[in-house]
Structure 1
Amino acid sequence: MAGRKPKITNSDADRADQRTRTEKMFSATSEMEHLSEKPPSYLEGSIAIDTWKKIVPQLNKAGLLKQADSTVMAVMCQQVQILRMAYAKIMANGVVLKDGHKNPACQVLDSATAKVKSLAESLGLTPQARVTLVNVHKNTSQEDSGDIKAKLQSEGDDKW
């Protein structure tokens, strides 16, 4: 689908077709299992596993992450690990290597950053996506899951 991503909303201020699409999505996925909080066996690396353990419970509480999203979540965690590894290489060796060439880790960092940003938007982990998802969740659920951002920050994880 070209153009803008479909908006997830149930606000009366938004268009009726957007609200209808959101209602259909919630209805179609209501019976789907939440994503397991245990990382998949193929996910390797302490940063990737820690990322999974940190993000999945929060997104599950919002009721938007389903088992079908496991691959997207795993890729997100792998890209966070790659991003951090590339950053560590740049910090250790500099942006320009001793031979005068650009450190290849710079390109890896750039690529991983773009992928993390895109995946984070898809999973509701950016401020704008989070506001939309939190507002939708508040309007569709009687539970009070609170603000995902505040919960992630309250964890006090120095890795974030």
Structure 2
Amino acid sequence: MVGRKPKITTNDSDRADQRRRTEELIDKTKDLNKLQERAPKHLSGVARSTWETLVPQLNHQHLVKAIDKNVMTALCEQVQIERWAYEAIEEKGVVLDSGRKNPACQVLDSATAKVKSLAESLGLSPAARASLMNIQPDNDDGSTDDIAAELVKKGDEQF
């Protein structure tokens, strides 16, 4: 079983080790160029809006770099597809007049899964970025064997 994903934050109210991990992440990627804030020309509608909303925020947080452009583009395209599918479902319903399931339901399901995957690969969940950078927590409270032995010992003491 895997532990919690590391929290990435610069908020003073969060733990010092979390802030230190975030600072290390920012330092390791500081030499990479920021992602352009202007959306690629081929993006339009919701895809363009998604780009122009997310990229400035992510650049400000130092989470996305120019090397992430193709993945960010794919994310924006999938958000657009997700929106189209949702609108089709709103218009026609989940079940069509023929009694068959609206194919837009499958498109929505697929696009939603792709959005989640792409967002995680970009580090849009901050913990995903830390995981990609292989940043490890500073505290090493012992090996798994040591921890297991300690639990067994405490269990024996109780009974």
Partner of 1:91: 90
1:120 offset after TM fit, Å? 2.3
1:78 offset after TM fit, Å? 0.5
Is the alpha carbon distance of 1:8 and 1:32 closer, same or farther for their aligned partners in structure 2, counting shifts above 3 Å?
farther
Partner of 1:139: none
Q: Does 1:35 align with 2:39?
A: no
TM-score, normalization by structure 2: 0.63
1:119 offset after TM fit, Å? 2.1
| SS of residue matched to 1:70 | helix
Q: Which has the higher contact order (CA 8 A, sep 6+)?
A: 2
Q: Paired residues, what number?
A: 122
Q: Indicate conservation of the 8 Å contact 2:26/2:62, yes or no.
A: no
CA distance in 2, matches of 1:26, 1:62: 9
Q: Letter of the aligned partner of 2:39 in structure 1?
A: P
CA distance in 1, matches of 2:54, 2:77: 13
Q: Letter of the aligned partner of 2:62 in structure 1?
A: G
Q: Residue by residue, what CA displacement relative to the aligned partner does 1:41-94 show, whole Å, maximum 9, x if unpaired?
A: 2x3231000000000000000112110011111111001100000000001111
RMSD: 3.2
Counting aligned pairs with the same residue, the percent is 48
CA distance in 1, matches of 2:100, 2:47: 30
Q: Indicate conservation of the 8 Å contact 2:64/2:123, yes or no.
A: no
1:121 offset after TM fit, Å? 2.7
Question: Which consecutive aligned stretches of 4+ in structure 1 deviate over 6 angstroms post-superposition?
Answer: none
The runs of 5 or more residues in structure 2 that have no matched partner are: 10-14, 131-159
CA distance in 2, matches of 1:119, 1:103: 25
Partner of 1:56: 55
1:1-160 superposed matches below 5 A: 13=17, 23=24, 26-41=26-41, 43-126=42-125, 129=126
The runs of 5 or more residues in structure 1 that have no matched partner are: 134-160
Radius of gyration: which is bigger? 2
1:102 offset after TM fit, Å? 0.8
Is the alpha carbon distance of 1:94 and 1:9 closer, same or farther for their aligned partners in structure 2, counting shifts above 3 Å?
closer
Q: Indicate conservation of the 8 Å contact 2:39/2:48, yes or no.
A: yes
